[in-house]
Amino acid sequence: MSAQPPVKPKISLKDFRPQIERIERRLFLKQGLSLGALSMLSGCTLKDDDAVDKLLWAMSRWNDRVQAAIFDPAKLARTYTEAEVTEPFPFNAYYEEPMAPVIYGPDYRLELSGLISDKRQWRIEDLRALPQTTQITQHICVEGWSAIGKWGGTVFKTFLERVGADLTAKYVGFKCADKYSTSIDMPTALHPQTLLTLDFPGKPDDTKYGYPVKVRIPTKLGFKNPKFVTEIFVTNDYPGGYWENQGYNWFSGS
């Protein structure tokens, strides 16, 4: 390849759309992208970390759109029996277990913001008064483990309808007591198995799995299932999240 001057191209998804589409096709066929192809695409030397980085981000965001386009809102995640539940259920967070927040129930309020017409705060007992259902599904963590757990709560779509969320908006975002955050696409938020849960694996006084509120999304990887949720917002502006902002693919679902 001929030597190229170090350039810092301004990369936008739009500029690379045909190339990225071509690469996506090749990825499906071959599961691999050579560095040469990457450098040709970005028109930069691979020493130009910033440009390569921007390109990979653009590809990941493109990948989000492909995944969103093939998401089937009617396809259900597999469910399991009580006998198949993993005990004890593994704990995970971006910190060690003793650091997990312990929320004092009577003081807890779930806050709502963004494109929601009724932004009243919710206490645990108010959430408990909504229709409840249970679900036994598999949780898959990108760190290389999976487990089957039982969660109980309200169908998230029912909750979103109840508070007058704009169901045509693009994203639902979550903020958590431990400064964690994540966000999902609206079709996933409206999926029948996405639950706003109050009951988690473990004993009733075990708070580390997300007490008092965890949003359980069996069609998404574990990191997109927020625990200790304190705020839910609806928006058309891409919200990102704790891991998503560090490079994990945003859609991360099926």
Ligand X SMILES: Nc1nc2c(c(=O)[nH]1)N[C@H]1C(S)=C(S)[C@@H](COP(=O)(O)O)O[C@H]1N2
Contact residues for Mo ion, defined by CB under 5 A: 141, 222-223
Q: Which two tokens stand for residue 207?
A: 């708070």
Site for ligand X in 208-227 (CB under 6 A): 209, 222-223, 225-227
Q: How far apart are the first and last CA of the chain?
A: 39
- Would you say 173 or 222 has its CB closer to Mo ion? 222
# of chain residues touching ligand X (CB under 6 A): 16
- Would you say 94 or 238 has its CB closer to ligand X? 94
Q: How far is the CB of 100 from ligand X (least distance, A)?
A: 8
Among ligand X, Mo ion, none, partner that 171 touches (CB below 5 to 8 angstroms by kind)? none
Q: How far is the CB of 219 from ligand X (least distance, A)?
A: 15
Contact 145, 205 (CB under 8 A): no
Which residue's structure tokens are 């009577």? 106
- Would you say 114 or 201 has its CB closer to ligand X? 201
Strand partners, 183: 173
Site for ligand X in 166-195 (CB under 6 A): 176, 178, 180
Q: Does 153 bind ligand X (CB under 6 A)?
A: no
H or E element that contains 183: strand 181-185
What is the DSSP annotation of 161-193?
Answer: HHTTB-TTSSEEEEEETTS-EEEEEHHHHTSTT
Contact 206, 89 (CB under 8 A): no
d(CA 76, CA 39) in angstroms, rounded, equals 40
Site for ligand X in 51-110 (CB under 6 A): 90-94
What residue ranges bind ligand X (CB under 6 A)? 90-94, 141, 176, 178, 180, 209, 222-223, 225-228
